[in-house]
Chain A
Amino acid sequence: MESFLNFSVISDNFTYFMIGRFPHGPLGGVGLTLYLAVVSCVLSFFGGMILGLFSISRFAAVRYPALAFINLVRGMPLLMVIFWMYFLMPALFGKVAENNTVIMALTLFTSAYMSRIVVAGIEGIPKGQTEAAISTGLKQWQVMLYIVLPQGLRNMIPSFVNQFVSLIKDTSLAFIVGVSELTHVATQINNRTMAFPTEIFIFIAVIYFILCYAFTSLSRWLEGRLSWNKAI
């Protein structure tokens, strides 16, 4: 308690916090956090799109499994999904790298939430658009692909960015299966140095805050920007 807070532990390990042992070893720290978040975000964009479209399909055989999956995942804690993947992926596919296990878990989890955004975006487009498109002779899938989705996607963008912020926060759970992202790096350094837990956890909280707040602000800016000249 002599020196109140001593942030030298941060400056000593700064590169390790940022990129892990990257040039000489695997990527870690903030770099890996962002990598996990970006890859899972891109994958769950497609996952959410597919699940969302399936969940409003006219065919019950497609709709009910999709709805069941969405509600199943939304009812579970993310930690549980990670454990399921950690446990099932090796049983199904043999050896899988921890990074991929976590990406898989984050993708499944976030897809379920993204699908709700997709559905809301599609439902936000007035029925008249669909009716007009059908009466010009387009098929159902063409209406979705050329008329409804391009307009709906635009309204979904701010929500997608918010989901990305959640993903950045959620990557911290990758710690539990030993993926060396920022939180894991922090606990490692904490275990090694022993004396500076307050400094270390305040520091990574600030890092997460900067990352997330930047994207939260982006999403708010986009919301204002995209809403003023809606086509409809």
Chain B
Amino acid sequence: MLNYTFDWSTVTSGQYFDWLVSGLITTLKLSAISIVLAFILGLIIAVMRMSHNKPVRWFALAYLEFFRNTPLLVQIFFWYFGSYKILPAAINDWLVSTNFEFAAAAIALTIYTSAFIAEDIRSGVLSIPKEQMEASRSAGFSYLRSMQYIILPQAVRITIPPLVNQFLNVAKNSSLAMTIGVMEMTYQARQVESYTFKGFEAFTAATVVYLLLSIIITSLVNIYNDKVLNVHKAA
């Protein structure tokens, strides 16, 4: 350790820099796709979770509990190695014809994250006074339409900060995609380490990138809380 000479140029220029940049782009792409899909799926599950239909509610509850209480890594492995037996052949063929590693990671991240997002949305909805729902029902909206036009638009506004934090979690969780060969940030850092033995520099570079990402996003959430929701003024 004492005789180690640092060589930062390895990771700040040339081929290895390009690798890290492409890793960052893959990380962002994977996270962005997963968070958008997870938001849509989470919204559906959250509405199902609050439905008055028992089987629908129980299905949503089972979904939430199962996917929140299983490691993401196992879910990634399941979709990557094991999904071919339960998916229809047409979907399989389509998945294999695309970038399958990326698709499997995106599916796993989407489903895993949707369970957390559904709970965030639900607590957002619960914070909307019950009278809103009652008023809109008595104005003649159906349950789903009241959700769509009255409750969810307000709830989503409150849910935005936790959702942005979920994006941060997805960005960090997407590092697990390296285990099935998606060339994202951590994969590339590891790759640079094995090619150059400059592990310290490579891991520092990746760590700094993750930190910058989380600092930027956390500050955005704080600004939103201050300017839009006035959280700190109200408290």
Q: Which residues from chain A sit less than 8 Å from chain B, CB to CB?
A: 1, 4-5, 72, 74-80, 83-84, 87, 91-92, 165, 168-170, 172-173, 175-176, 183, 186-187, 190, 197-202, 204-205, 208-209, 212-213, 216
Note all chain B residues with C-beta closer than 8 A to A4. 85
Query: B71 contacts A172, CB within 8 Å?
Result: yes
- Cross-chain contact A198 with B172 (CB below 8 angstroms): no
Taken together as a complex, chains A and B put the C-alpha atoms of A20 and B117 apart, in Å, by 36
Q: Which residues of B are in contact with A by a Cβ distance under 8 Å?
A: 1, 65-66, 69-75, 77-78, 81-86, 172-173, 175-176, 178-179, 186, 189-190, 193, 199-200, 203, 206-207, 210-211, 213-215
Our pick among A1, A92, A173, A190 for the contact of B176 (Cβ within 8 Å) is A173
Which partner residue on chain A sits nearest B186 by CB separation?
A79
Let me know if B203 and A84 touch, CB within 8 A. yes
B-side contacts of A165, CB under 8 Å: 69
Chain B neighbourhood of A172, CB < 8 A = 71, 73-74
Contacts of B85 in A (CB 8 A): 1, 4-5, 197-198
The 6 A-B pairs of least Cβ separation, nearest first, read A198-B82, A212-B69, A197-B81, A75-B214, A172-B71, A77-B175
Residues of A within 8 A of B206 (CB): 80
**Pick from A1, A87, A168: contact of B203, CB under 8 Å:** A87
Q: Which residue of B lies closest to A174 (CB)?
A: B73
A76-B210 in contact given A4-B85, A198-B86, A202-B82 (Cβ < 8 Å): yes
Shortest distance from the beta carbon of A128 to any chain B beta carbon, whole Å: 19
